[in-house]
Structure 1
Amino acid sequence: MYLSGKINKPAVIDLLIILFTGIILITYNYRKDMLPDGLAFSVQLCSGWFLFRILYTYFPSFPLYTCVGILLFGLVEAVWGLGQLYDFFPSKHRLFKTTGSFMNPGPYGGFIALLFPLALHYWFVFKHTKKWIGYLFLFVGAVCMMVFPATLSRAAWVAAVAGCLPVLLMDTPVVTRLRIFWRRHKRKSIITITIVSILLFGGVYGIYYLKKDSADGRMFMWKITALAISESPLKGTGPGGFSAAYAKAQIEYFKSDKATQAEKLVAGCPDYAFNEYLQIFLEQGLTGIILFLSLTCLIIKNGIKNRQIGAAGSFLALSVFALASYPYRLWEFPVVWIMLGTVCIVQSGYKTVEKQPYSWKKIIPSFLLIAILCSISITGIIKQKEFYQAEREWKKQRSMYKRKAYTAVIDGYAGLYPLLDHKRKFVFEYGRALNESGEKEKADSIFGRGLEISCDAMFYNVRGRNYYEMGEYDKAENCYIKSTLLLPERIYPYFLLTKLYADPANYQPDKMVRAANAVLQKEPKVHSMAIMEMRAEVRKILKEKGISHE
């Protein structure tokens, strides 16, 4: 145990947890303060790690209860998803039926995926000793399997297979049987391996082409994130710095004319890198990613060594899922990461553990540490409660924004801004309300904040329009051009440029024609009434200027 004072592997992992939290605190940009709630949550997670460690020290059976708790929560999620699938419960997303308590089927599928190794492991553990308990774990796995295909998450399928693999290898005699089969039937084994390899290759190919555009889009995100990392590989941007760094890197990439047409088509403005390791590298720098990868490897290694095969398999599944999604940006996954990680570095909880007597010399420091950790967590909860209450108040006031009662919106949003200036949608609404109310200078400041916390091209568009209305045409042009570089295939910024160049106070006919041609000739991803209206207005502008067009 880490309280014994000896240098051991769990103590090394504890030290790495402290160091990684320290890197987050050191790299954070306190002046811009782009992720205040996330910073508080990171400190809470560190406190939670050590609270679980102390709990497992004095109550050796608790790791088992932790795993059971995760499975029960997963069962609730699986039933919730089944209810959504059959229209008993409402979905959290307007385009997808099955999301559980999540806002998207992707993370939901990832959460269900990490339950399979736990359920499978405890089924193997109890099926011969306490069959009824074993069947309960089998039931949880079966319910999860019923809803799992509906998530359509390729990353979750890969994660589930990766997580269950160590369980099958460690909890069953499959390795021994395969060795015996190899010695007795080498020819059949080679044929079998060849067939399985072909099937696996076909499966990977099929998974890729199942949603090819989505896969291409993700690979493009990783490419741009890697380019952003190269700008500051040692220091990183700090927590919350992903969006601005990503936008800058994507603008520079398209500006260089190295991009293919396919890349232009799949380009977007993501909130996350869809690869946690790349995002950690970008935000926490080289030291941060080395610490995090070391933590991940040591936790899985200790889980296998300590015969916590289910927890290790689930932790592996989560780590694999993080390669192609954003689980650590949602509170559920980091909490499960802490729970599974602490389970992995203690001995198997389902075995009978002899109770060790503890002296007051060990108990008193432990209770003092618990008091400190609880104080830190409570302080974080109080701070997060402020953000939560501010968000609730914002949701109440949004009805005025939708009714375009901008004066009332400004009065309400001004008080919430200090707590919600890291929320992209809130900042956008506040800036737009200021713009519509004629407070252009203040709106410009708010839109500038939006560009610090988001890579959404609409912030360039609205800031450019704000400049245009202020008569600052050069600044407006710069914003619109950056928008076209960020998303080259979007038509709206070219429409704004056409209007800018057509203005009598800033008339530039050559530039106007080029922008107008882009509006008229670019093929939109989705045809809509808005596209038709923009094209009609552009034709009208060209006609008024006496310029013919095809």
Structure 2
Amino acid sequence: MVWGLSEAVWGLGQLYNYFPTKHALFKTTGSFFNSGPYGGFIALIFPLALHYWLFYRYKNKLIGYLFLFAGAVCLMVFPATLSRTAWVAAIVGCAVVLLSDKRIIVKLRLFWKRRRRQCILGATILSLFLFVAAYGIYHLKKDSADGRLFMWKITTLAIQDSPMKGTGLGGFPAAYAKAQIEYFKSGRANETEKLVAGSPEYAFNEYLQIFLEQGLFGFILFLLLSFLIIKSGIQNKQIGATGSFVTLSVFAFASYPFQLWQFPVVWVLLGSICTAGSGSKKARTYHYRSKKIVLSVLLLGVLCFVSVICASRQKVFFQAKKEWKKLQPLYTVKAYDSVTDDYAALYPVLNYEPKFVFEYGIVLNATGQREKADSVFIRGLERSSDPMFYNVKGRNYHEMGEYDKAEKCYINSTLLLPERIYPYYLLTKLYADSANYQPEKMYRAAVAVLEKEPKIHSTAIREMRTEVKKILQEKGVAHE
């Protein structure tokens, strides 16, 4: 509750320009990078605040008002997050809390018996309201919703390649990119899907991503564990924690909470509270209590030991990232020769970071180490679904004189994101190369550069189109 309240206050400070935001495009982010996960984290607080307000409002009004105040503060910043998924998750979590309150259930039953017609009418009106609200929420950010639905569709197709074994942790980007390329190659995609297609780091549905990476067994195990935690929470009367756990579970349907460290920590915390129970007569005996203390100390010792090992390993990663940040200004000004050895030293530690891998590949290509650059770009394709890895890999092949491999990379890039113009520009240059001159293919690629409507008009688009026109003039090809 304190953690959530501090995040809410942080977000309010950002909303009124007292605190700096973490993202240029989003005003309220709290300690998160953008407002989506931030909204999901704030949503976790509502079931807790509601439960403890209901619990204390007759026993201790002052404490009840404190929880009501915490919920009100969260509600003040919640709309600014514009997270539709967080709203739905918070409503479902609060509904769990309300439906677990016996006093509310009794009142609802009495109301149903006495005013059945009004209940049916109210339920009908509520259903219509929810339908209209769902329609409005969908059209609030329609492109975003369509993009998310398309991501789930492609992730489902990717699961079919290895449904039992899965890809392993971190295997989502490569599997997703492969499935999207195959889907667009099949010709089944419509224009809307081509427009909303992207190269995501996450599936924006944790259940699909777990299925893709951990296979059917891992997926069923996670669902079973979540079900048992919710069931234990209800049985142990840990209603607030159960409501928040349900909120997190619902939020995971259309976001990526488990990819951020805060949410797995909260998942474990809420799961522990739900399964802890509220105590029993047996638990109060000295002998049983002593056993619990010994077991707790042992578990705490193991946890501390593992934490120290993990912290020591994390120190290596943090230090490597610190060194990388120092090198980036030199990379930006293209002083590649002076950073090659440093990037090579950091690569074994940071080869999981797509941006670092991309930069290292560019450095190797620029310094003439093209075969080594190729292996680095292959690693990049394993860690990212960004088509730029296909583009730079193809350009590397082009410079090596391996034109067929370069063509394949560029075509994969056009299939991965069909509305991007840059790979068609690279194809035009590849086909215009005197050692690989293919006039018909060159003309088709050039037409795509000149006639495709970009999502965002930019100086880079204008420069590419100007250069393609010059290439066509030099080759004596007229653009109709």
Q: CA deviation at 1:478?
A: 0.8
Residue 270 (structure 1) aligns with: 200
Residue 357 (structure 1) aligns with: 286
Residue 396 (structure 1) aligns with: 326
Residue 110 (structure 1) aligns with: 40
Q: Which has the higher contact order (CA 8 A, sep 6+)?
A: 1
CA distance in 1, matches of 2:50, 2:65: 10
Residue 176 (structure 1) aligns with: 106
Which SS does the other structure have where 2:444 is aligned?
helix
Residue 13 (structure 2) aligns with: 83
Q: CA deviation at 1:388?
A: 1.6
CA distance in 2, matches of 1:318, 1:369: 26
2:209 corresponds, among 252, 272, 279, to 279
1:231 corresponds, among 161, 166, 182, to 161
Q: Would you say 1:460 and 2:400 are equivalent positions? A: no
Question: Which structure 2 residues correspond to residues 394-543 of structure 1 after superposition, within 5 A?
Answer: 394-543=324-473
Q: How many residues are aligned here? A: 479
Q: Would you say 1:252 and 2:182 are equivalent positions? A: yes
Residue 237 (structure 2) aligns with: 307
Rate the CA distance shift 1:284–1:262 in 2: closer, same or farther, 3 A: same
Q: CA deviation at 1:352?
A: 11
Match for 2:286: what amino acid? P
Match for 1:75: what amino acid? L
CA distance in 2, matches of 1:370, 1:101: 28
Q: CA deviation at 1:175?
A: 2.5
CA distance in 2, matches of 1:408, 1:195: 69
Rate the CA distance shift 1:437–1:352 in 2: closer, same or farther, 3 A: farther
- What do the CA deviations read for 1:438-463 (whole angstroms, capped 9, x no partner)? 22121111111100111100000011
Question: Which structure 2 residues correspond to residues 49-64 of structure 1 after superposition, within 5 A?
Answer: none
Q: TM-score, normalised by structure 1?
A: 0.85
Residue 336 (structure 1) aligns with: 266
CA distance in 2, matches of 1:363, 1:131: 34
Match for 1:356: what amino acid? T
Q: CA deviation at 1:380?
A: 1.4
Q: CA deviation at 1:398?
A: 1.2
1:326 corresponds, among 249, 256, 260, to 256
- What do the CA deviations read for 1:169-208 (whole angstroms, capped 9, x no partner)? 1236332222222222222222211111100000001110
Match for 1:238: what amino acid? G
- What do the CA deviations read for 1:186-231 (whole angstroms, capped 9, x no partner)? 2222221111110000000111010011000001000100001000
- What do the CA deviations read for 1:94-148 (whole angstroms, capped 9, x no partner)? 1111111111110000000011001111111122222222222111111111110
Q: CA deviation at 1:365?
A: 5.2
Which SS does the other structure have where 1:455 is aligned?
coil
Residue 134 (structure 2) aligns with: 204
Q: Would you say 1:215 and 2:156 are equivalent positions? A: no
Q: CA deviation at 1:379?
A: 1.1
CA distance in 2, matches of 1:518, 1:353: 76
CA distance in 2, matches of 1:210, 1:123: 32
CA distance in 2, matches of 1:519, 1:172: 66
Q: TM-score, normalised by structure 2?
A: 0.97
- What do the CA deviations read for 1:66-117 (whole angstroms, capped 9, x no partner)? xxxxx10111111111111111111111111111111111000000001100
Q: Are the counterparts in 2 of residues 409 and 430 from structure 1 also a CA contact under 8 Å?
A: no
Unaligned runs of at least 5 residues, structure 2: none
2:227 corresponds, among 297, 300, 313, to 297
- What do the CA deviations read for 1:378-420 (whole angstroms, capped 9, x no partner)? 2112112211221122112211111221122212211111110
- What do the CA deviations read for 1:329-354 (whole angstroms, capped 9, x no partner)? 000000000000000012248x9997
Q: CA deviation at 1:523?
A: 1.0
Residue 241 (structure 1) aligns with: 171
Unaligned runs of at least 5 residues, structure 1: 1-70
Which SS does the other structure have where 2:326 is aligned?
helix
Which SS does the other structure have where 1:345 is aligned?
helix
CA distance in 1, matches of 2:243, 2:165: 32
2:314 corresponds, among 378, 384, 388, to 384
Greater shift in the superposed pair: 263-272 or 517-526: 517-526
CA distance in 2, matches of 1:183, 1:136: 35
Q: CA deviation at 1:370?
A: 3.3
Rate the CA distance shift 1:167–1:352 in 2: closer, same or farther, 3 A: farther
Q: Are the counterparts in 2 of residues 274 and 325 from structure 1 also a CA contact under 8 Å?
A: yes
CA distance in 1, matches of 2:218, 2:283: 39
Give me the identity figure in percent: 67
Question: Which structure 2 residues correspond to residues 56-205 of structure 1 after superposition, within 5 A?
Answer: 71-171=1-101, 173-205=103-135
Match for 2:366: what amino acid? E
The CA RMSD measured in Å over matched residues stands at 1.7
Q: Are the counterparts in 2 of residues 491 and 522 from structure 1 also a CA contact under 8 Å?
A: yes
Question: Which structure 2 residues correspond to residues 23-62 of structure 1 after superposition, within 5 A?
Answer: none
